[in-house]
Amino acid sequence: MDILEIDGSFGEGGGQIVRTAVSLSCITNKPVKIENIRKNRKVPGLKPQHLTALKILKKICSADVQPLKIKSTSLQFFPKKVESCTLNEDVGTAGSISLIIQVLIPVISICQNKLKLKIKGGTDVLWSPTIDYSQVLLKEVYRRMGINFSIKLIKRGYYPKGGGIIELEVEPAKRIIPINLSNRKTRIVKLSCSFSKIHFDIINDEIKGLEKKLTENNFVVKKEIKEEKALDAGATLLIASIDDHSIIGIDSLFDLKKKKFDLDLSGFIKNNQSVDENLADMVVLPASLAEGMSIFQVDKISKHLETNLFVASKITGCKYGIGKLQDGYEIRIQGVSNSSIK
């Protein structure tokens, strides 16, 4: 069987290419070879969370993976049939659980299998969606596309010790539904914050400031602040607005030195498109395999989105287009709807 070669330095040049390529390799049963993995990063090659995701995929589809080691800058992935399974895994570091399950959920569901996974690692870490983002925004957009999963948070895990634990359950999809979104209509936002080993008054003052800015811009804020003990000091924040036409959110970790959440709140307030920048690239994989055309809007085209569009089209053969709007961009993806993947 021919092996599809992918340049891992394309686009954002990070772990996104690996995650998308191996996920689609499993689903389509096409082997892939990835070179130059994270080539331009300070520490090139595979990180612990990449390795954990690959090891789990190896188990669920009996894949042959060469090599399977930290810091490897090349990878060959030969998948076989995806099977339902129950697993217990440990990243071994504060490596992102959210990035790992982002790989697993579409593979298991689209291939019409089930997964029960208990995993230990980082639930809320830098350069990754928080677990709340996955639990709220990713879950919602995937549900609308026919992919259903649940996350039970057992314990938060911040950098550097990690120690966070979740239980993930993924259900088989009956079919993959194209998504068609337009513009944000709602002015209701849900603000949720969890903290550990930080004084409540510090967190509460920060949340009050964010709430004030939102209400000044005519948003109705429903907030929840709770203390959840973790091994390290830390705090995580999610602000989300969801309606029939849009799914938009922003998440952030608390900067312990600056004593504030590092986030672009004005960008969230001004964004009247249908998905946020981070969710846009997560939609690409299922959209490439959907039964029809998916349409959504973003305020800007990120490198992650460019990367996923490129990889998905190369592996699945899906077609996509990007159109300029007055205040953003519209993405159209024609899914291949190949019955052989079911």
Q: Which residues are catalytic?
A: 304
Cis amide leading into 178 (omega within 30): no
Q: Which residues of 156-166 are buried (b: 16+ CB within 10 A; e: fewer)?
A: bbbbeebbbbb
Integer Cα distance of 143 and 121 in angstroms: 25
Q: Residue 195's beta-bridge partner residues?
A: 227, 235
> Is the separation of the CB atoms in 4 and 33 below 8 Å?
yes
CA end-to-end span of the chain: 20
Alpha helices by DSSP H, the chain: 15-28, 48-61, 97-110, 131-133, 139-144, 200-216, 265-270, 277-288, 303-316
Radius of gyration of the chain (CA): 19
Cite the DSSP H helix spans in 164-264: 200-216
Inter-CA distances, 127 with 60, 98, 152, 182, 251, Å: 26, 11, 22, 28, 11
